[in-house]
Structure 1
Amino acid sequence: MNEANFEPTLESTLNKIAFDIVNDKILEENEISKLLGVLSNDGVYAMWIYVLDKLKVKFHEDEKSLNEEKIFKLLSKIAEIDKFVLKTLDYDAVVKNISNLTKEINQLQKDINQLQGKIKNKSNSQEEKKQLENQKKAKEKDRNKELNKYFLDLSSNLNDLLFFKELFEKVLIYALYHAKAMGE
């Protein structure tokens, strides 16, 4: 078989993802077990909410730093699975959008901080601060929507949702075996 013509199969992709999850230390054995339990018992979206809670995303302005966060490493692996399901998760675009929104949020926070000194005597500065805080909250909502968009879209088609769930369960089971075998 010529390696240049090698087209990865679904099974080989799942194997690679499972191995990468353990080898790249994206998830530890205990985290994999818990994630598998939530996915199996409560579904895909519950699993994603669990990931958001447990992996504690720290948002960065720079895309490279975002890619180093465990949650984004996991999302990149989910994007590899998506190539066989919806074919809509553009991981690079998600990271870029979140990075840009984080820049905007941080700039709004700087503007709010600068207004702090002006507020004591001027009511119009107080109103300006309130407007900036509202803009910041709106941007934070947009960033959260961007992070959750794929999983909300996935739930719009039951067949895709169930197929993704089956594939990701398989990945987590393989990852669990890899972790045990590697003594993680």
Structure 2
Amino acid sequence: MAKDGTARGGARYGAGRKPKPLADRVMAGESAKAIELPEPPVFEGADVPPVKEYLKAKQKAGKDLCAAEVYEETWRWLKDRGCERLVNTQLIEQYAMSVSRWIQCEECISEFGFLAKHPTTGNAIASPYVSMSQQYMKQVNQIWYQIFQVVKENCSQPFSGNTPQDDVMERLLMTRKGM
């Protein structure tokens, strides 16, 4: 405490040892305090909440947007781990839309190449789809880390295997084949 009565200094945000994931604490036999949530309402007949229309919109090029598929796959992955109530649906929608936009950019790069023509001079320039693709991939990773952090902190049993993030490249390759 300073002479003027203000608190200065101290530990910085994020300083110190990072907390162990819940599953690791349970496996080690430590006392693990999990978030106690009220019982969810009983849903009937729907495994995945309804997908918003903008995730299924037809694109200008006439191709389907794969955001609805990514949304459903991510929701099921969260539900298998019991964390679907802990992650905001808007975050899942943002993740799904970013993945589908990244795939669109990659398809355009494959179709048009890495170079484009400058609109006024006609000289070769880098394709704008390359930088857009990089930005969408960065956004996809940031959103996925937020979702995965919730799962890591709240999933009480250890999990392994594929995640929806692992399947992004596979989805891109499948769209190129027309599957």
- TM-score using structure 2 length: 0.38
Greater RCO between the two (CA within 8 Å, min separation 6)? 1
Query: Which structure's residues are more often helix, by fraction?
Result: 1
Larger of the two Rg values belongs to structure: 2
